[in-house]
Chains A and B, each alone.
Chain A
């Protein structure tokens, strides 16, 4: 049941032999049905475009207005005088460039740590099956029941002085990178995928005398590209969108280490409205472009990952 078309590679597109839905094709092919369908389709497209693209339109055009025009009553739909300089001002005053570099550094560092440690752990749990492996996996899954915002206080205190090691990670990128590894959902997705790799493939590698690491590298990883892509995309987006944690561990330590998300919020209080919107627009561009490039992987990964959560 869960092996719906969403989880099949390339499924959904072109939808081979669409099964029927609430309203049958025969019903739609009648003259009245066709008319109603046309009207509904047009309405849906117009309303959805207004609701979802409309705000984005203002996000990008209001940053082109002058400070006076941005707070003018009533607001103008199209900027009377286009001020591309607003974007330049916002870039400088809010320090969007620095925020962007910080965020990229945090996001890709976290991604690297997450891929290395979580893939290795999922592989060990799925294929090497060590003693107590099941207990460890169950304890990892148990963390899914306790969302991280609830633990923010003890996590903050732990990061400010790691037990045993007595390290203070506040203000270091590791304060974002390492906690992102503790992602039970990634490990769950990866393990489930590794479980489905045919045993003969791995046995063949073992016959050739490949070590576990070698098997992981040259047999498991190449066939696991789709799931690793899904985990990577969601890992990146999670760091990019996080707010409270970077606010505490980076901004609280030194405002110059803040992320985009925190940075534009902190700047908003002391910056003219048009610059705030221009900065928000610039902060939105990377993820929007990323989404438009990877939309198929993201949308199919979303359903594949969550349907069997």
Chain B
């Protein structure tokens, strides 16, 4: 860049064509100033809405506020949440959701992608189809599912009834034993809403597998299942493990699904209460006694857990180059 500047013909832009301001230092300062001018808007937004809240959350988790006076509280907020039985329940529920969502929402898109990749027709149509629910506003999709799930007049029970199968309370099931019907219902709705993204990413990964590998496997006499096991899965292993981390991070933040399906998120006997839901309850919903400090402590715990998986994701994506 520096030698280009000396080649610049005089004239035209009066500002830039000014004889070089004395030394290289002044030019460097000017270039840096303009570069930071371009950066300032985004940097301020990051500072106010990402970096500062991150630090603030950690600080607040060690403070207490009473009657408008803030003081240090040591580990008191953490002790409080660890002694709250709903804390453990929320983690158990979140874990249950994550595991169920991985069994259903992680494996299903992979096999759907393998299937779609084999088809020679209607590919465009099917790709649009799986991604359609992703574009719906979550409230639309979830209110529709709440309607389907209604124990009295919902579509799902009427289908079960017609097939002479036992009907279900779906999201309103009171059970708390794993796996709860309530949580399975939440996972079904969540998977329907979100599986499009993962499916299309798998599909793109499958298209990058060199065809010769399948040919070689066939020459060795491999059947369909062995080709999937020894070619498809190893060849997509990196993208599979990256998506696994992303899915864990995404599902552990589950909030809106349970919140709308069970009108507030707790479900019957608290069996769909998630960690983010509990943060919301601590901070905003407990009438009059909203406690930002306990909510922050819970936020820090969740942040640490998620950071492990995000870190694993970043590590894997670096390996990818």
Binding site for B on A (CB under 8 A): 1-2, 4-6, 13, 19-24, 28, 37, 40-41, 44-45, 48-49, 51-53, 55-56, 58-59, 62, 70-75, 113, 116-118, 120-121, 123-125, 128-131, 133, 136, 139-140, 143-159, 162-163, 178-179, 181-182, 184, 187, 203, 206-212, 214, 237, 240-241, 243-244, 248, 252, 260-262, 264-265, 268-269, 273, 276-277, 280-281, 283-284, 287-288, 290-292, 295, 298-299, 302-303, 306-309
Contacts and interface: CB of A to CB of B under 8 A. Distances in A.
B131 A307 contact: no
Contact of A264 (B143, B263, B310, B321): B143
B307 interface: yes
A98 B12 CA distance: 50
Main secondary structure of the interface of B (DSSP, over half): helix
A108 B12 CA distance: 37
Nearest to B292: A153
Contacts of A37: 120
Contacts of A124: 35-36, 38-39
Given A150-B299, A154-B296, A243-B256, A288 B42 contact: no
Nearest to B161: A74
Nearest to B228: A22
Interface string B216-231: 0010000010011001
A146 to B, nearest CB: 6
Given A21-B214, A56-B132, A73-B158, A206 B1 contact: yes
Interface stretch (B48-56, B95-103, B172-180): B48-56
Given A150-B306, A291-B128, A302-B200, 6 more contacts: A73-B158, A75-B153, A158-B53, A182-B49, A212-B35, A307-B239
A162 B311 CA distance: 30
A75 to B, nearest CB: 5
Nearest to A178: B45
Contacts of A140: 42, 46
B152 A73 contact: yes
A41 B120 CA distance: 9
Interface in B229-280: 231-232, 239, 242, 246, 249-250, 253, 255-256, 259-260, 263, 276, 279-280
B210 interface: yes
Contacts of B144: 55, 58-59, 277, 280
Contacts of A40: 115, 119
B73 interface: no
B206 interface: yes
B7 interface: yes
A209 B8 contact: yes
Contacts of B4: 203, 206-207
Contacts of B153: 70-73, 75
A280 B144 CA distance: 8
Contact of A130 (B39, B42, B120): B39
Nearest to A73: B153
Contact of A182 (B46, B122, B130): B46
B115 A44 contact: yes
Contacts of A146: 50, 54, 303, 306-307, 310
Given A121-B39, A157-B56, A261-B137, A207 B8 contact: yes
Contacts of A4: 204, 207-208
A128 B31 CA distance: 8
B129 interface: yes
A187 B306 contact: no
Interface in B306-321: 306-307, 310-311, 314, 317, 320-321
B3 to A, nearest CB: 10
6 contacts: A146-B306, A158-B56, A209-B8, A209-B11, A280-B139, A307-B205
A75 B152 CA distance: 10
Contact of A121 (B41, B121, B154): B41
A45 B127 CA distance: 11
Contacts of A59: 140, 144
Nearest to B17: A209
A240 B8 CA distance: 47
A190 to B, nearest CB: 10
A19 B124 CA distance: 17
Given A44-B115, A150-B306, A182-B49, A24 B299 contact: no
Looking at B35, B205, B214, B314, which has the most chain A CB atoms within 10 Å of its CB? B35
